Structure 1
Amino acid sequence: MMFIIGEPASRRHFEIAFRMFDLNGDGDVDSEEFEKVANLIRQQTSIGNRHRDHANTGNTFKGVNSALTTYFFGPKNDEKLTIEKFLDFQQQLQREILTLEFIRKNPDENGNISEADFAELLLAYAGYPQKKKVKKIKRVKKRFRDHGSGISKEDYLNFFHFLNNINDVDTALTFYHIAGASIDQETLKHVARTVALVELSSHVIDVVFTIFDENMDGQLSNREFVAVMKNRLLRGLEKPKDTGFVKLMHSILKCAKDTKPVLLDL
């Protein structure tokens, strides 16, 4: 269950995920259906197997599952989970995780982080050699040293909403590439607006191009951009160096507590 709720994806994908839990096809999910599929997911994922065998993370896993079950199905496990409640919780969870990442960069008095901090967050799980990552971040620092306005939390959240639709964005950018059209800043803004239904600020797009436009010709290498952004969405959760799993558990528990008073005593 953790990887369906915690993994960034489009609303359409989460609707599909919900249907997967609805085993009898009545449009809602009960606690028994939820538990069956959740157990299956834990058995079939490497992280689920890894943490199931460790006492500390295993206890956290059980605690969060108990909190989620209470939130979704009530204290007696006799309520039904609707798709609206499922999607609302997922959106709150993702927003909270992204907000925590943003706050860790210590926003200034205006609530903004620097362009370099934004670049570091985007490249966190890029898989680049350290030297290449440092080079890109230095380029951003140099570009915005004298006229940087920073990145607001809303701009940050909007960009990750865009990334949640990265597979559809990939398809759109591929069509542009096949047609021989260049992927400039206006094109990326148009794709964000029409595919992800989000308005990216010109400044955010400028920073993104500074990161990925290696020869600074005003055009984006869509293959590298999409590959890096897909890695970023995973947050390294499927890698041995993973440090985010337990934090993700606590984020889910906190989200449940904040949105349902009955969970406050868990």
Structure 2
Amino acid sequence: MRVYNENGESDIFMSPEDFLRSITPGTKQPEGYGLDQFKRIDIKDGQAFAGLKKDSIFYKLSSSGLINFSDYIFLLTVLSASRRHFEIAFRMFDLNGDGNVDYEEFEKVQTIIRSQTSIGMRHRDHQTTGSIYRGVSSALCTYFFGPKLDQKLTVEKFLNFQHQLQTEILTLEFMRKAPNEDYLIREWDFADLLLTYAGLPDKKRSRMLKRVKKAFKPCSQGISLDDYLQFFHFLSNITEVDTALTFYHIAGASIDEATLKHVAKTVAHVDLRDHVIDV
């Protein structure tokens, strides 16, 4: 959308829903919008964006909850890099080794992380369209470093920001599936969310979804938001999970539902419900 200020100047912004669409494979823009086609809005400072909670990450980026191109690149970088990558980068650039960085050091952290992620390499400045990366927004800089930008950003505070962002995006994805009055989505909707990023051919994906629907439609228990968040936390530790399951295989042990649940508890520190594992 194109946002105009009081002086008639404009810039291109995205809503949280736009951002979610941009990172979801196979999701189309709403009808009537496309390249160089924007919704024009006039927005005043402090105006809330409909649908966001008061403590939303998007309000830390701007008072309206809208994000510009620089915010977009920053959020993609935060989502695509692991906790471990950020922990290492923070300790590379702080002076005393405590993992805390100042404003200038944080700029270096961002640069090194962007250069190491496929997301950062793909999304570069586009001078022809005016989409130029200008660094972290002033609102977020104030949140991280204080109004005078003279405070230190701890690695714990940044990782909490990353966790909150991931949780909010997953919650938006969950809400897209229109949970029922008990705040549950159907098993095949859960499966559809899991397969979104799998890169499977459409026919194979369709067969898998039909199999899940056939198995659970007669006796659907539903999947809660907590189930969904727990499972994606499990997936975020998939490298360690894969290593653990490989050890089981080498030892000749069977990999059944009980084994998967045990690995989830000991490696990813999450309790997966039996029903989620069944799905």
Contact kept in structure 1, 2:187 and 2:222, CA below 8 Å: yes
Matched, 1:67 2:156: no
Structure 1-normalised TM-score? 0.69
- Per the alignment, do residues 134 and 149 of structure 1 end up closer, same or farther by CA in structure 2, a change over 3 Å counting? same
Matched, 1:38 2:110: yes
In 1, the alpha carbon distance for the partners of 2:260 and 2:110 equals: 37
Q: How does 1:134-213 map to 2 (within 5 A)?
A: 134-207=206-279
Contact kept in structure 1, 2:87 and 2:99, CA below 8 Å: no
Contact kept in structure 2, 1:158 and 1:198, CA below 8 Å: yes
In 2, the alpha carbon distance for the partners of 1:141 and 1:129 equals: 19
Which residue of 2 is the match for residue 86 of structure 1? Answer: 158
- Per the alignment, do residues 168 and 136 of structure 1 end up closer, same or farther by CA in structure 2, a change over 3 Å counting? same
- Per the alignment, do residues 50 and 67 of structure 1 end up closer, same or farther by CA in structure 2, a change over 3 Å counting? farther
Residue identity opposite 2:183 in structure 1: G
Residue identity opposite 2:145 in structure 1: F
User: How many angstroms does 1:40 deviate by?
Assistant: 3.7
Residue identity opposite 1:143 in structure 2: A
Task: Determine helix, strand or coil for the equivalent of 2:100.
Answer: coil
In 1, the alpha carbon distance for the partners of 2:95 and 2:169 equals: 29
In 2, the alpha carbon distance for the partners of 1:99 and 1:199 equals: 19
Residue identity opposite 1:5 in structure 2: V
In 2, the alpha carbon distance for the partners of 1:76 and 1:183 equals: 55
Contact kept in structure 2, 1:4 and 1:17, CA below 8 Å: no
Alpha-carbon displacement from aligned partner over 1:5-31 (angstroms, at most 9, x marks no partner): 21364x555533432443552431101
Contact kept in structure 1, 2:103 and 2:149, CA below 8 Å: yes
Structure 2-normalised TM-score? 0.66
Number of residue equivalences: 205
- Per the alignment, do residues 14 and 33 of structure 1 end up closer, same or farther by CA in structure 2, a change over 3 Å counting? closer
For structure 1, list consecutive stretches of 5 or more residues without a partner in the other structure.
208-266
Identity, % of aligned positions? 67
Matched, 1:7 2:80: yes
Which residue of 2 is the match for residue 116 of structure 1? Answer: 188
In 1, the alpha carbon distance for the partners of 2:191 and 2:84 equals: 28
Residue identity opposite 2:186 in structure 1: S
Report 1 or 2 for greater relative contact order, CA contacts < 8 Å, sequence distance ≥ 6.
1
Task: Determine helix, strand or coil for the equivalent of 1:106.
Answer: coil
Task: Determine helix, strand or coil for the equivalent of 1:128.
Answer: coil
Match of 1:128 among 180, 184, 200: 200
RMSD: 2.4
For structure 2, list consecutive stretches of 5 or more residues without a partner in the other structure.
1-73
Could you list the structure 1 runs, at least 4 aligned residues long, displaced by more than 6 angstroms after superposition.
none
From the two aligned structures, give the one with the greater helix fraction.
1
Matched, 1:98 2:170: yes
- Per the alignment, do residues 104 and 35 of structure 1 end up closer, same or farther by CA in structure 2, a change over 3 Å counting? same
Task: Report the structure number with the largest CA radius of gyration.
Answer: 2
